[in-house]
Structure 1
């Protein structure tokens, strides 16, 4: 049944005016509110704390490409990493610590101090009390606090996939909550898969805020065939594809707003035409001693009854006659940084072009030489939260990596760290205590060379 339409009431001019006034008032209030919100947004945009709150908790992913040189960062060998370097920040060279070998440098990258301080003085060595270094329990030999322990004590979860020294708890503090037992057979695809799984965790008590990871890099191929050999490019190609996948996934998930991705290496690589077998040289001259190390650096531990100053001076003389630089440890130049007794009785360096060997080894690539040698330079590339894009950092020190990571995580830098955060890399404030003063604000690790 259709109802009759209601009769229309006449519209008065007074009613129209009142409605219009009400609408204009609502519009004005809306504009004022929008303006206030815009002003607050502008203020927040200039406030790093507000930015950090909006982006979520800061996260750092630190990846090492073992034995990879700045010269390897090319379109032919590492195109994806090179593209990231062009977008973000890149060092001309990262100067390693001495000796420029894998174990001591990875631990220095994680502690910000020289091997003479953190105690992992070479890939092989002997402690006067504990005996021969146990390569399967590196974490138990570290004497300075690593960044994962600092982060864990601050309540930040950490994880590690094969970073040297992260396999267990630090001697006087925690290790990473998540670790993996080392196997050289593990592919970089497996490592990237795990990094992405860690970053996908939703529970803040489990999701790592610091992830450290070791890649094979160019090291094995460089040792076997020499730096720049075709096998080096072949070894780096699949790793570069995984770097590209990691970057794509972080971008697709919008994680670069809160995540900083840093790639480093531990040392360079160089060929050698001359080989010197220290053990053979010493035995030929009737000296009984142990030698540790190959390539550009070695330590000599004299026999228990052969450690008088005269005995050690004779060893030094024999080594120098073989064309190497040698010092009694207690007389070595300060910039060798060999104060720790784990460096043995006599320390030895070879010049570029000569390699210390222990057998008739057929390997073609070596490292361990003086950190200032251009051939020993490592690389550093950073991109993501807090990084100044398009930045060239010049020459930086391995000792600066740990304090830079702590700055990115918003954690204070301990006084014992010798390095300072890399100047020019980040847009964030310096977390280093003010007592250190301005004299250490430079990209050389905070020390004279």
Structure 2
């Protein structure tokens, strides 16, 4: 009995500690710093960019919930009516698109979960061995581009930042840890910008998940989602006020990876079809991998008969989605329209999700707001694809793009003040 009580007490302590948020001193101790790096003389004379991702922040949330600080960035700077997410409209593919200027099929992160035929291995967002393996990631992320050109960078939880892409990490970075509060993330960004010029990062990226978390659980129009939007708005306000005290040429860029749609219906894939020995990614929208051509043909024919389900062979995915990668995309790609999703097993379908066609579902629209010395004031442009963010940020920082990308500066350079730039 005594041993049982001891074990129960042990697990109680472990779980209560795990649930606690870290102090700011503990957060600083977790920071990974690459030693002996300094800004080049050229880099020290360049401006700064702080780009924050607010996961799942739909294109209309700021107006809908009157997020005053976020709206002030648009009022005092620039914005797009909507930022068109890349397909699939999932977190990992789109975050990595934002910092590489490449469609998911071209940079390699084709979903939150996918299989590589070449590696004979799955990439899954909770598999640290995969997430931290640089061989999964194509392109040249903004932080790698900066470091290669003598400009220091800092990273707070951006997708890909835990892996040594191009052989190295950001000068300052963190492995993902949910115990780091949003408040401490903002404080660390401000502290980075108060470092001596030689070691001060010019390219800073930060990530916040609370709006996406609320959207999934409650749906985009729920009071809890509004609460999450206003909480992130407060953090943006704190950042703006902190930056105003620094007297540095800092550009604030607010983006999101995708929007959010309400869901009410679910199709359970294994109940509709015998998948036999096929490999299936259920990261919405699902992908089926089947190397046996006869079995694949049978699956395809059966799936075509299911009402409300769109099924595409890998080579038949509509061209406008730019979804092509023979190694990593499934032999079959399955899609639906909101409010219906495809599931692995029966469950109650409520709240919200994303992953839908960004051109067919307006609710997949994300955000882009920017404010700073090189941005115009009070300018809004029509919806643009998120592949164009990369060349825009590179232009502000004075970085030379070294490898081909899908994004084009001319799609967004109207937002820049030519007289200043």
Give the equivalent residue in structure 1 for 2:263.
272
Task: Provide, for residues 385-436 of structure 1, a one-character-per-residue CA deviation record: whole Å limited to 9, x for no partner.
Answer: 20011101211111011111100001123451111121311125999xxxxx
Give the equivalent residue in structure 2 for 1:313.
297
Shift of 1:187: 1.9
Q: Where in structure 2 are the equivalents of 1:65-214 lying within 5 Å?
A: 65-74=54-63, 76-130=65-119, 131-135=121-125, 136=128, 137-139=130-132, 140=134, 141-170=136-165, 172-204=166-198, 206-214=199-207
Give the equivalent residue in structure 1 for 2:19.
none
* Residue 401 (1) aligns with residue 389 (2): yes
Give the equivalent residue in structure 2 for 1:436.
none
Shift of 1:217: 4.2
Report if the CA contact (8 A) 1:68-1:217 is conserved. Answer: no
Give the equivalent residue in structure 2 for 1:370.
357
By relative contact order (CA 8 Å, sep 6+), the higher-ranking structure is 2
Query: Which runs of 5 or more residues in structure 2 are unaligned?
Result: 1-41
* Residue 427 (1) aligns with residue 389 (2): no
Counterparts in 2 of 1:97 and 1:281: CA distance versus 1, 3 Å? same
Give the equivalent residue in structure 2 for 1:227.
220
Shift of 1:70: 1.6
Query: Which runs of 5 or more residues in structure 1 are unaligned?
Result: 1-52, 432-449
* Residue 248 (1) aligns with residue 241 (2): yes
Report if the CA contact (8 A) 1:324-1:349 is conserved. Answer: yes
CA distance in 1, matches of 2:140, 2:273: 38
Q: Where in structure 2 are the equivalents of 1:17-32 lying within 5 Å?
A: none
Shift of 1:287: 3.5
* Residue 290 (1) aligns with residue 303 (2): no
* Residue 347 (1) aligns with residue 333 (2): yes
Shift of 1:317: 2.6
Aligned CA RMSD, in angstroms, stands at 2.1
CA distance in 2, matches of 1:417, 1:128: 25
* Residue 416 (1) aligns with residue 404 (2): yes
Shift of 1:294: 4.0
CA distance in 2, matches of 1:312, 1:430: 57
Task: Provide, for residues 171-195 of structure 1, a one-character-per-residue CA deviation record: whole Å limited to 9, x for no partner.
Answer: x333211111212232211101000
Shift of 1:207: 0.6
Decide which of 332, 355, 372 is 2:317's aligned counterpart: 332
Q: What TM-score, normalized to structure 1? A: 0.77
Give the equivalent residue in structure 2 for 1:13.
none
Counterparts in 2 of 1:62 and 1:103: CA distance versus 1, 3 Å? same
Shift of 1:249: 1.3
Greater gyration radius: 1
